[in-house]
Amino acid sequence: MTGEAKPMTVEREARIKIAVQKSGRLTDNSLGLLRRCGLNYSRAADQLICFGENMPVDVLLVRDDDIPSLIAEGVCQLGLVGLNVLLEKSVEGAGLMTARRVGDVEFGRCRLSLAVPRGMSYLGPTDLAGRRIATSYPRILSRWLAEQGIEADIVTLSGAVEIAPKLGRADLICDLVSTGSTLSANGLEEVEVILESHVVLVSGDTPVDAESAELVQRLISRIDGVVRVQEAKYIMLHAPRSALDEIKALLPGSEAPTVMPLDGIDDKVAIHAVCQENVFWETLEGLKRAGASSVLVLPVEKMLA
């Protein structure tokens, strides 16, 4: 596609595997992220392993809940998984968790929340005492309840948590909320956030050969670059010389803008800057008030620190 990595021969070459959710909220973004890292692979329907065509990196498509243990066991060297799943599977006593968090990836934002049937009163954690709470996150929930000093019954379910109150299996639930549509479709109301979650890139500490370790680092730094670039913008504008300092100060997250003369116009300069933060309309309006004109904001395609 982009062709930045040369096709390599496959014999006796180190290959690494990255685990990605097979089908769910994170799948499309995770696969898109890997493609933006320059990884080309073909994916047939129902295929569980995708062979990297231009890098010795294969993509393993699995249930997100299995990703931490696949990394801890050394089956995969990297994985993209929600912080919620990572914490749930790495709480003390889970046994096999040695995966570590290597970087935050900015998608898959969601929260693990308590939700009660509409109409049930909830004024605070003390209302949970003695209640039955259905969840697929018993470890995170029990830790949170212990912190609150509350004793409640945790009903562990592996799926369909949202219908547990209707079935009489629980009084309320603790589940992931993203858009909130699952809750409202089931007559539930979010009352307490117990964890803010997003996707993390995870690597394990199972020893690998030097070549594989180098590949892992290369993929981590490409993913870092792609994530950093998501918000980065390249700004170009014209500014009165007299307002130079004010305008530089307004450019969000830019270190050292380039300032260039404009042919035939002595009292104005051109400023080019890479801004590491999102550039909002408010910022542009502020720049304009300070005297900037001809403002252009461009996306940045690649960045390597």
Give the binding site for Zn ion (CB under 5 A): 64-65
Confirm if 99 and 184 have CB atoms less than 8 A apart.
Answer: no
Please tell me whether residue 123 adopts helix, strand or coil conformation: coil
| Of 57 and 134, CB closest to ligand PRP | 134
Query: Least distance from C-beta 22 to ligand PRP, angstroms?
Result: 10
Which entry of ligand PRP, Zn ion, none binds 179, CB below 5 to 8 A by partner kind? ligand PRP
Which entry of ligand PRP, Zn ion, none binds 32, CB below 5 to 8 A by partner kind? none
Angle at 132 between CA 131 and CA 135, to 5 degrees: 135
Cα dihedral 276→281→287→289 (10° resolution)? -160
Confirm if 215 and 14 have CB atoms less than 8 A apart.
Answer: yes
Query: Least distance from C-beta 104 to ligand PRP, angstroms?
Result: 18
| Of 197 and 283, CB closest to ligand PRP | 197
Confirm if 283 and 277 have CB atoms less than 8 A apart.
Answer: no
Using alpha carbons, list the distances in angstroms from residue 79 to 198, 205, 216: 13, 13, 11
Query: Least distance from C-beta 97 to ligand PRP, angstroms?
Result: 18
Which entry of ligand PRP, Zn ion, none binds 180, CB below 5 to 8 A by partner kind? ligand PRP
Q: Which residues of the shown chain bind ligand PRP in the complex (CB under 6 A)?
A: 24-25, 64, 175-182
CA distance 252 to 30: 28
Q: Which residue has the tokens 């993390």?
A: 200
Residue nearest Zn ion, Cβ-based: 64
Report which secondary-structure segment, H or E, holds 262: strand 258-262
Confirm if 63 and 85 have CB atoms less than 8 A apart.
Answer: no
| Of 137 and 144, CB closest to Zn ion | 137
Query: Least distance from C-beta 177 to ligand PRP, angstroms?
Result: 5
Query: Least distance from C-beta 24 to ligand PRP, angstroms?
Result: 4
| Of 55 and 115, CB closest to ligand PRP | 115
Neighbouring C-beta atoms of residue 32, cutoff 10 Å: 12
Which entry of Zn ion, ligand PRP, none binds 25, CB below 5 to 8 A by partner kind? ligand PRP
Query: Least distance from C-beta 285 to ligand PRP, angstroms?
Result: 33
Which entry of ligand PRP, Zn ion, none binds 268, CB below 5 to 8 A by partner kind? none
| Of 27 and 276, CB closest to ligand PRP | 27
Q: Where are the alpha helices (DSSP H) in the chain?
A: 27-36, 67-72, 83-90, 138-148, 181-185, 210-231, 244-250, 281-289
Which entry of Zn ion, ligand PRP, none binds 251, CB below 5 to 8 A by partner kind? none
| Of 159 and 168, CB closest to Zn ion | 159
| Of 83 and 215, CB closest to Zn ion | 83
Which entry of ligand PRP, Zn ion, none binds 192, CB below 5 to 8 A by partner kind? none
CA distance 13 to 212: 9
